[in-house]
Structure 1
Amino acid sequence: MLQAAGHEAVVVLDGGLQKRVRENRPVETGEITPVPAEIAAVPRDGMWADKQDIMDMLGETDRATLIAAAPYLPEDISEIPAGAVRVMSRVIPGSVSVPYPAMAQPGSTALQPTEQREHLLAAVPKGAPAIVYCASGLSAPLIGLSLVSAGHKEVKIYDGSLDEWLSDARNPTESRVRPS
């Protein structure tokens, strides 16, 4: 996300502070006095997709791979809000499902090892552009990050995601099927 705003010197603290402490890595403590600074965010072209981009590529799977990053519906949906069920059960036609929870190690905030992430992303061709979407635009960047770290060069995030897509009943959708 910060790179999309024009910042190049960005890294991810994979697993967060908890993982760093568990691994006995250096951590500084004490009072910190922030230094005021101005940051000029300049959006970079080519990192975001919009609804029109998706409409333009429907039926043309050679243009880009659409990736649905929302989690699969659980077996018991009795406590899931109806709106969430609707979003999690639909995809844009031609999408490949790569649910974002699969990218994290179970019970952890750390990403899966590189080999596991590459296995999960195997259905996404490396030489073609990829457009990632989720339910609301919040989870898609994790899959985008995983794609970039696996060597994909052209990755865009459709930040309108299914919230925007499903708001227009004329937009095509398909039922999302959980693999067996």
Structure 2
Amino acid sequence: MSLPTPLYPLVSVASLAADPQRYRILEVAARKAGDVPQAVSAREAFSQGHIPGSAFADLCQDFSDPHSPWPYQRPGAQAFSRAAQAAGIRQDQSIVVYDRSDGIWAARLWWLFRAYGHRRVQVLDGGLQAWCAAGLPLDQAQDAMAPGDFEARADDEAAFVDREQVLAVVNGERRAQLLNVLRRPVFTGAEQRYARAGHIPGSLHVAHGTLLDAQSGLLLPAAVLRERFALLNPHVPVITYCGSGITAAGTALALAVAGREDVAVYDGSLVEWSADPTLALVTSSD
């Protein structure tokens, strides 16, 4: 079964404000496993003011696999369907996702919806920061919602890759470009954030933070993003990775805006790769 044509990845604040009833709006937040106070504070922040008509989507608790040893991993189709239904998502509904950060959390849920066959989903460019900067109102209402009828239609196997598929790239058995999207010191290994320092052999590097306007938090224009990604071969698929697949989804969003459709996210990313001492990591001096 062919998937419907996806919407443009981004929606502007002006477009959303002009016709909010057209969308089911989700505010995306997350917490690390076991860190209950942080999850409570995210919900409290939502209750104190959110984009009118939006529902809260807990990326860790509801839209991730609770049985994975790694944080924020993709849930199975049934679990994802249940979470979407609980958020009131209907099968034929257009969705806008946003967050209170730099868009990577919203991008992760956007990527998950696309992976499970729902193409009518967009990320609010600039998120809550852009909404507030435009002088638009917030709401504290949390109306009871009827459960949705969303069902994951298909699992797009090209959306995610696992450790063995990345290892095949490293070994020259699979044709793809590995793109590390973490900050430069983490990429080089000067800063250790995971079990071991460094990056996967053969990786290219574009820090996700360089893809955003420093003042507004908006993604850079498509033409500028294409310049940022100029080091990538346009004819070879891209695999993005980061720490645990969140920032990698943010860069997958930027690549989609830049016109790339051959992108996958390494879900386990460095939190998984660095935990296995048999898998090589490379450090560099710059």
TM-score > 0.5 by shorter chain: yes
More helix by share: 2
SS at match of 2:240: strand
Q: Does 1:51 align with 2:163?
A: yes
- What is the CA distance between 1:17 and its match in structure 2? 3.3
Deviation at 1:28, TM superposition (A): 8.2
1:14 aligns with 2:125: yes
* Residues 177, 122 of structure 1: alpha-carbon distance in 2 compared, 3 angstrom cutoff: farther
Write the mapping of 1:140-179 to structure 2, written as runs, cut at 5 A. 140-178=248-286
- Residue 123 to residue 3, structure 1, CA distance change in 2 (3 Å): same
Q: TM-score, normalised by structure 2?
A: 0.53
Mapping of residues 20-99 of structure 1, within 5 Å: 20-23=131-134, 31=141, 32=143, 34-41=145-152, 42-60=154-172, 63-73=175-185, 83-84=192-193, 89-99=197-207
Tell which has more relative contact order, 1 or 2 (C-alpha 8 A, sep 6+): 1
Gaps of 5+ in 2: 1-110
Query: What secondary structure is seen at the aligned counterpart in 2 of 1:11?
Result: strand
Cα RMSD (Å): 2.7
Q: Aligned partners of 1:148 and 1:15: how far apart in 2?
A: 16
Q: How does 1:94-173 map to 2 (within 5 A)?
A: 94-173=202-281
Q: Is the 8 A contact 2:178 2:238 kept in 1?
A: yes
Amino acid at match of 2:121: V
Q: Is the 8 Å Cα contact of residues 134 and 162 (structure 1) preserved in structure 2?
A: yes
Q: What CA distance in whole angstroms lies between the structure 2 residues aligned with 1:69 and 1:175?
A: 15
Q: Quote the offset at 1:66 in angstroms.
A: 0.4
Does the CA contact (< 8 Å) of 1:73 and 1:85 recur in 2? no
For 2:216 and 2:278, the matched residues in 1 are separated by 39
| 1:62-115 superposed Cα distances (whole Å, 9 cap, x missing partner) | 8111000111228xxxxx7xx51765x511111100111111211443212222
**1:107–1:176: structure 2 CA closer, same or farther, 3 Å change rule?**
farther
Partner of 1:77: none
Query: What secondary structure is seen at the aligned counterpart in 2 of 1:12?
Result: strand
Q: State whether residues 194 and 274 of structure 2, in contact with CA within 8 Å, keep that contact through their aligned partners in structure 1.
A: no
Identity over aligned residues, as a percent?
27
d(CA) in 1 for partners of 2:273, 2:236? 23
> What is the number of residues matched between the two proteins?
170
Cα distance change, pair 6–176 in 1 and its aligned pair in 2 (3 A): farther
The offset of 1:157, in angstroms, is 0.3
Normalised by the length of structure 1, the TM-score is 0.81
Which letter maps to 2:259?
G
